[in-house]
Amino acid sequence: MLTIKRLAIDTYPENTAFMLRESNGYSAEQFQALRKIRVSDGRAEILATLALVDEPALLKRGEIGLGEQAFRRLALPEGASVAIEQAMPPPSLEFVRRKIDGDTLQDDEVSAIIRDIAAHRYSPMEIGAFLVACAGFMSTQETLAVTRAMADVGNRLDWRAPLVVDKHCIGGIPGNRTSMIVVPIVAAHGLIMPKTSSRAITSPSGTADTMEVLASVDLSEEAMRAIVAKEKAVLAWGGKVNLSPADDVLISVERPLRIDTFDQMVASILSKKLAAGSTHLVLDIPLGPTAKVRTQDDAVRLRKLFEHVADKIGLVIDIVVTDGSQPIGRGVGPVLEARDVMAVLRNDADAPQDLREHALFLAGRVLDFDPALRGGRGYARALDLLASGKALAAMERLIEAQGRQPVKFALGEHVHEVLATQEGRVGAIDCHRIARIARLAGAPMDKGAGIDLLHKVGAQVRKGQALYRIHAQSRTGLGFARDLAAEDSGYEMAG
Amino acid sequence: MLTIKRLAIDTYPENTAFMLRESNGYSAEQFQALRKIRVSDGRAEILATLALVDEPALLKRGEIGLGEQAFRRLALPEGASVAIEQAMPPPSLEFVRRKIDGDTLQDDEVSAIIRDIAAHRYSPMEIGAFLVACAGFMSTQETLAVTRAMADVGNRLDWRAPLVVDKHCIGGIPGNRTSMIVVPIVAAHGLIMPKTSSRAITSPSGTADTMEVLASVDLSEEAMRAIVAKEKAVLAWGGKVNLSPADDVLISVERPLRIDTFDQMVASILSKKLAAGSTHLVLDIPLGPTAKVRTQDDAVRLRKLFEHVADKIGLVIDIVVTDGSQPIGRGVGPVLEARDVMAVLRNDADAPQDLREHALFLAGRVLDFDPALRGGRGYARALDLLASGKALAAMERLIEAQGRQPVKFALGEHVHEVLATQEGRVGAIDCHRIARIARLAGAPMDKGAGIDLLHKVGAQVRKGQALYRIHAQSRTGLGFARDLAAEDSGYEMAG
């Protein structure tokens, strides 16, 4: 038996255990050759990657060091006694191997894999193997099984209502912060819309990051329930309520490997919706040359897959393929996007009209789910709720209910303007490039960092006129972003 | 800039760098989200996985800790100044991604991947992704490109002779230690046979492990050259001469994922042969229900792939498909196998005849490469060299030249006999099972651990008679092996 010592070493996302090379009668090197050990006190258990320590300062004989992830997940106190053994690979890895060999998996086999992944029994390497095997070929039935299994392993919210609406965009378009306009419109109408959002993974801001500029988003399930009971809606970060935890683990591997298949996208989004208790979903698929979906054929293929899986899991889905040819709104990054959203809700004269129109369109489709409004009357109702200030009032109530931010986040004070190098009309704006520049400036970690787009596609600009403004909170961030913009600004002039 | 501190933490096979979470003006968490950083002094560089430390005892501000792998591979002294930056993924990862998407890669793309893998620029997760994508589909041209690229990145031995013979078995059959008989026979005949072997990866012993019972195998290239100049042959561990180093990295991922495709096997074996300077190779493919190749169709497919690739890289290959239905010889494990090998070389009356015959057959095929012996006269010559004691003398000279072991390795003193549970004829012996039991007993790390098979297929045994004897050097090892044998001994009685 070994005694647990907590080591303040963060090896995200992996569990790591540390052992003296010469210690305790365990043949540490033989364990390490197999890379993984099982640490257990007979009840709690984790699998961990083993690092061998030759430095007696770090560990004493008879101790096993646990890094932060391992310590937290094992959830035993320091000093507790544990035994270790060579970790048998999770039995479900055999199914992964069959998938690698080209087999199609049964539902229960898919379930077993997803359960083990959610329980952190797979190493990133093993998760990568599963994802790559799935990227090779996945049947619709397998995608459905993954979706169901992912929704099943975490928490399931139940709002005890026949109509729980939701709206989701597959992402990829900077500034496209419509949820923060759609939710207050729908709440003002009176439908239940408990919106859980993610933080940005590869983009300069997620809805949770931007909403957090205005209010707390880090809400417990109880807090969410109380707010929804009163306001019909909420705009919360989904991380605290443990929806589809396997998805978070999968994403931690998909991101560095840049695996972004339609199957994974469908399973990821729909499993979260199922777990969040949504019954009716409007799904936005932006189509454009620098968006996630770049051809009409792909849009149709993705749409059919979403429809098939949604139908099988009992989710009513309304899919809209929208213009993803350039960023939406002006601001890119949390503070700048929050500014645009509030300008639209306040009906400011200079509010970005594309963001306003896109949000109204989506809100209208969501409201169309209301039996009382059938027949396409949703849009008119949405427009009325926005123009009358009722949506703004609903948003203010949501902010109060969630907890208004005590201080106002400032826009990054380090500023650089990117100038037009020639006179002409803006022909195209590269969504992917703009997102990368905004991220290098510091978004979303630095809430005030980002890009303020001064001209959009179609605008006539003079040589030397500013195309956009980069904001950063640090000189370093500004430097990174400026260098990337100097290489390629993401703007292309027409003709 | 940060100062290097060496940390005695072994994170095989990965490079790991340790940084204080709050330190040095670097946004450590942003680096970690991307999992890999580039550490460089402007000339030397490595990529490393980042672990964040919150414990000031381990690192001071301004320091970067390097684990053993990272420290050794960067090869800069402690205290040297380095800069770190977000590691751009190696550009060749883009080719891996295309492979995941189902593309076929060009030769130069394959080369770039293998070069980056050999230079430790890929994480295990990325290597896994490459291997799984290849397991999905690989063209013959791609297998050839991988083979060439793997041979190219390491050392290439050149023996300055038109005929450099070699013999290789794809493995999987316990006790099949023919190289240690074939090499002295061929050396006694006078052909050049500089045999480099691996240590066991998943088996209870590799040729290098068994040869090491008798002599040093850890030879430099210079030492190998001197021995070959004098004795025509050598039986060395290949690890010291850096042949096909990408193979070792790939194997460190193939093993835990249990990826064992024909393409990888061909590339692994032939790249090592090409790098080792072999011109003529006899390749042994054992076929049997518990061997690596289990059907005649598979044997034909594997053989064609070997022939195709060997032909393209200019290696003369003679492939033999042999009986892999049960272990060969009696001993399984380094000391026991060395005993069998020496018994055959000494022409002992009770030497295992199946090992003798198999070795003679293979030696004959190798000798057939000699133009002076064409027409199948190799076997008779091999028999003559063995029976006359000339092969034994050659082996003794090799042992002396490589450096005889000063102490005799003892057989493991903890012994357990596995008994027949019924009377009858031995119908089958499971190669895979016997190998696992021998490994749990401690082989190959404990040289005296292993299994001594007392009866082979066809033998008539009484109930309660010992089928085999497990030897272990530790009580724990014996316990593990005994438990596994109790579950299933690996022996099946006929009728």
ipTM over 0.85: no
Q: What top-level class would CATH report for the domain A165-240+273-402?
A: alpha beta
Handedness of CA A265, A268, A269, A271 (dihedral sign): positive
Strands B45-53 and B16-20: parallel
What pLDDT is recorded for position A29?
52
Residue predicted with more confidence, B38 or A31: B38
Decide: residue A63, CB within 10 A, 0-12 exposed, 13-18 middle, 19+ buried.
buried
Asked if A270 contacts A170 with a C-beta cutoff of 8 angstroms, the reply is: no
User: What are the pLDDT digits (tens) for B293-305?
Assistant: 999 999 999 999 9
User: What are the pLDDT digits (tens) for B196-225?
Assistant: 998 887 899 999 999 999 999 999 999 999
Q: What angle do CA A108, A112, A118 make, to 5 degrees?
A: 140
- Spatial distance between the Cα atoms of B106 and A11, rounded to a whole number of angstroms: 36
Fold for the domain defined by B165-402:
Pyrimidine Nucleoside Phosphorylase; Chain A, domain 2 (3.40.1030)
CB within 8 Å of A436: residues ≥ 6 apart: A484
Number of Cβ within a 10 Å radius of residue B10:
19
Number of Cβ within a 10 Å radius of residue A314:
8
Tokens 């791609």: give the residue: B142
CA proximity to B250, closest of B132, B141, B171, B108 = B132
Residues of chain A by 3-state class (helix, strand, coil), percent to 5: 45, 20, 35
Nearest to A133 among B52, B55, B132 (CB): B132
User: What are the pLDDT digits (tens) for B242-271?
Assistant: 898 999 899 888 888 888 899 999 999 999
Selecting among B103, B218, B260, B348, the annotated active-site residue is B260
CB within 8 Å: B445 and A9: no
CB within 8 Å of B29: residues ≥ 6 apart: A445, B21, B52
Strands B414-419 and B2-6: unpaired
User: How far lies A288's CA from each of A16, A296, B396, in Å?
Assistant: 42, 9, 74
Q: Could you check whether the bond before residue A13 is cis, i.e. omega within 30 degrees of 0?
A: yes
User: What are the pLDDT digits (tens) for B308-364?
Assistant: 999 999 999 999 999 999 999 999 999 999 999 999 999 999 999 999 999 999 999
Instruction: Give phi and psi for B467, each to the nearest 5.
Output: -85, -45
Give chain B positions within 8 Å (CB) of A18.
9
Q: In the 8-state DSSP scheme, what is residue B293?
A: B
What pLDDT is recorded for position B33?
54
CB within 8 Å of A391: residues ≥ 6 apart: A181, A184, A185, A188, A345, A385
Residues of A (259-318) whose Cβ lies below 8 Å from B: 259
Asked if B205 contacts B333 with a C-beta cutoff of 8 angstroms, the reply is: yes
Point out which residues pair with B50 in neighbouring strands: B17
* Confidence check: pLDDT of A118 > 80: yes
CB within 8 Å: A51 and B7: no
Instruction: Give phi and psi for A202, each to the nearest 5.
Output: -120, -5
Interface test mutation site (partner B, options A10, A32, A93, A130, max chain B beta carbons within 10 A): A10
Q: Where are the domains of chain A?
A: 2-86, 165-240+273-402, 414-494
Mean per-residue pLDDT for B111-137? 93
What pLDDT is recorded for position A23?
59
Q: Among A11-20, A148-157, A209-218, which stretch is predicted with the lowest mean pLDDT?
A: A11-20
Element (H, E) at B69: helix B68-74
Helices (H), B245-377: 245-257, 262-275, 296-312, 334-345, 353-367
**CATH second-level architecture of A414-494?**
Alpha-Beta Complex (3.90)
Q: How many residues does chain A have?
A: 495
Mean per-residue pLDDT for A55-82? 90
Element (H, E) at A84: strand A81-86
Extract the tokens encoding B292: 């690596």
What pLDDT is recorded for position B24?
53
Q: Is B222 on the interface with A (CB under 8 A)?
A: no
Asked if B321 contacts B302 with a C-beta cutoff of 8 angstroms, the reply is: no
User: How far lies B331's CA from each of B70, B174, B343, in Å?
Assistant: 40, 8, 11
**CATH second-level architecture of B93-137?**
Up-down Bundle (1.20)
Give chain A positions within 8 Å (CB) of B136.
100, 102, 132-133, 136-137
* Confidence check: pLDDT of A31 > 60: no
SS3 of residue A319 by DSSP = strand
Q: How many residues does chain B have?
A: 495
- Spatial distance between the Cα atoms of B108 and B117, rounded to a whole number of angstroms: 14
Mean per-residue pLDDT for A160-174? 95
Asked if B38 contacts B73 with a C-beta cutoff of 8 angstroms, the reply is: no
DSSP A157-205: -----S-BEEEEE----TT--THHHHHHHHHHHT-BEEEEEPPPSSSS-
Instruction: Give phi and psi for B161, each to the nearest 5.
Output: -145, 145
Number of Cβ within a 10 Å radius of residue A154:
19
Q: Could you check whether the bond before residue A444 is cis, i.e. omega within 30 degrees of 0?
A: yes
CB within 8 Å: B55 and A8: yes
A63 Cα to chain B: minimum distance (Å): 15
User: What are the pLDDT digits (tens) for A170-180?
Assistant: 999 999 999 99
CA dihedral of residues B144, B146, B147, B150 (deg, nearest 10): 160
Strands B26-27 and B22-23: antiparallel
CB within 8 Å: B8 and A136: no
- Grade residue B185 by pLDDT with cuts at 50, 70 and 90: very high
User: What are the pLDDT digits (tens) for B77-117?
Assistant: 999 999 888 777 789 999 999 999 889 999 999 999 999 99
- Spatial distance between the Cα atoms of B34 and B21, rounded to a whole number of angstroms: 15
- Spatial distance between the Cα atoms of B471 and B319, rounded to a whole number of angstroms: 35
Tokens 């991922």: give the residue: B253
Q: In the 8-state DSSP scheme, what is residue B459?
A: -
Asked if A455 contacts A427 with a C-beta cutoff of 8 angstroms, the reply is: no
Asked if B308 contacts B194 with a C-beta cutoff of 8 angstroms, the reply is: no
User: What are the pLDDT digits (tens) for B419-476?
Assistant: 999 999 999 999 999 999 999 999 998 999 999 999 999 999 999 999 999 999 999 8
Q: What angle do CA B123, B128, B134 make, to 5 degrees?
A: 135
A482 Cα to chain B: minimum distance (Å): 17
When the pLDDT of each residue in chain B is averaged and rounded to a whole number, the result is 93
Q: Do A165-240+273-402 and A414-494 show the same overall fold?
A: no
- Spatial distance between the Cα atoms of A27 and A231, rounded to a whole number of angstroms: 60
Strands (E), A242-291: 280-287
User: How far lies A119's CA from each of A15, A84, A112, A246, B278, in Å?
Assistant: 11, 18, 11, 8, 48
* Confidence check: pLDDT of B27 > 90: no
- Spatial distance between the Cα atoms of B403 and B215, rounded to a whole number of angstroms: 5
CB within 8 Å: B125 and A89: no
Residues of A (450-479) whose Cβ lies below 8 Å from B: 476
Element (H, E) at A106: none
- Grade residue B23 by pLDDT with cuts at 50, 70 and 90: low
- Grade residue A259 by pLDDT with cuts at 50, 70 and 90: confident
CA proximity to A390, closest of A227, A231, A216 = A231
Give chain B positions within 8 Å (CB) of A264.
none
Is A260 marked active-site? yes
Asked if A75 contacts A44 with a C-beta cutoff of 8 angstroms, the reply is: yes
Extract the tokens encoding A298: 């792909």
CB within 8 Å of B365: residues ≥ 6 apart: B282, B318, B320, B378
Asked if A264 contacts A246 with a C-beta cutoff of 8 angstroms, the reply is: no
> Within a 13 Å sphere around the CA of B45, how many CA atoms are in the beta-carbon half?
16
**CATH (residue range A2-86):** 2.40.40.20
Mean per-residue pLDDT for A30-42? 74
CB within 8 Å: A136 and B97: no
Handedness of CA A440, A445, A447, A448 (dihedral sign): negative
A31 Cα to chain B: minimum distance (Å): 11
- Spatial distance between the Cα atoms of A46 and A82, rounded to a whole number of angstroms: 11
Mean per-residue pLDDT for A147-171? 95
Number of Cβ within a 10 Å radius of residue B387:
11
Sheet (strand A280-287) strand order: A165-169, A280-287, A316-323
Give chain A positions within 8 Å (CB) of B135.
100-101, 133
Point out which residues pair with A468 in neighbouring strands: A418, A453
Mean per-residue pLDDT for B67-77? 93
Nearest to A257 among B52, B126, B257 (CB): B126
Instruction: Give phi and psi for B327, each to the nearest 5.
Output: -60, 160
Extract the tokens encoding B449: 């651990």
Give chain B positions within 8 Å (CB) of A101.
135
